[in-house]
Amino acid sequence: MSKTLAGLCSACLILIWPLVCIAQQTSAVQGQPLQPSVDQSSAPAQPAGSQDVFSYSYLQVNRLSEQSYAFNSLSAGNGLRFAYDFPDQVYVFGEWNSLNFDRLPGSHDLAGLGVGAHQQYNASTSFYVNLSYLRDQLSGSLGGARDYYWRLSYGFQSHLSSFVGLTAAILTERNTDFGRRPFGERLGLIFGGSMTALTVSAEHTNNGNRLEAALNWYYK
């Protein structure tokens, strides 16, 4: 029951967050005095190309801890992730993690490639969707089996203040062999600025929980 409630809460948060943003914009506009009209021809030209309040071009180092009911074990380790955002708000990314089991005599490596798209919703919030293809491979001491699967995520990032942000997503992983994960939810906090940021997040799926601490360097 608690797992179902957690999933429903995350899904509701993603669905109602645009309404929260609209309410904030409306209250801000109502609190501003009326301004005299300005000749549009005298306004400075805006730079070409679309922008987003969040950068999707970054290099990431992370620490991931993953619980797996399928293996009845916890695994943890470090990883890397690289993402590059094109001017049309489409980005590509690659990721790799090496995780050691605590109850099994071995480890597993997780690697994948993906593509996504993002859109700025307002001055503080950005929504995104991405699709990735991943490979989860056990070490030779555990037989070397491989699990190839798809992961689809939809979520948002939003600034709560100049230093703290909120991120949430719903996800599904398909064609998995190492445990079923048809639905999951992710919730985290972002600490930092426009150049570097630390994201601490928790993720829940039918096959267990994941905890991640990720340090991002935004290079563009």
Closest CA to 207 of 72, 69, 110, 71: 69
- Provide the residue count of the chain: 220
Query: What structural domains and CATH numbers belong to the chain?
Result: 3-18+61-218 (2.40.160)
pLDDT (average), residues 162-176:
96
Can you tell me the distance from the alpha carbon of 83 to that of 39, in angstroms, rounded to the nearest whole number? 41
Helix (H) or strand (E) holding 3: helix 2-30
Tokens in use for 82?
A: 């690289």
Please state, in angstroms and rounded to a whole number, the distance separating the CA atoms of residues 167 and 162: 15
Residue 41 pLDDT: 41
Backbone angles phi, psi at 80, to 5 degrees: -130, 150
Predicted TM-score (pTM) of this structure: 0.80
Q: pLDDT tens-digit profile of 31-89?
A: 555 444 444 444 333 333 458 999 999 999 999 999 999 999 999 999 999 999 999 99
**pLDDT > 70: what percent of the chain?**
77
The tokens describing 103, both together, are 């109850």
Residue 90 pLDDT more than 50?
A: yes
Alpha carbons 200 and 157: distance in angstroms, whole number = 13
- Look at 165 and 2; give whichever has higher pLDDT: 165
pLDDT tier for residue 7 given thresholds of 50, 70 and 90: low
Look at residue 194 in the predicted model and tell me its pLDDT: 87
- pLDDT average, residue stretch 128-145: 97
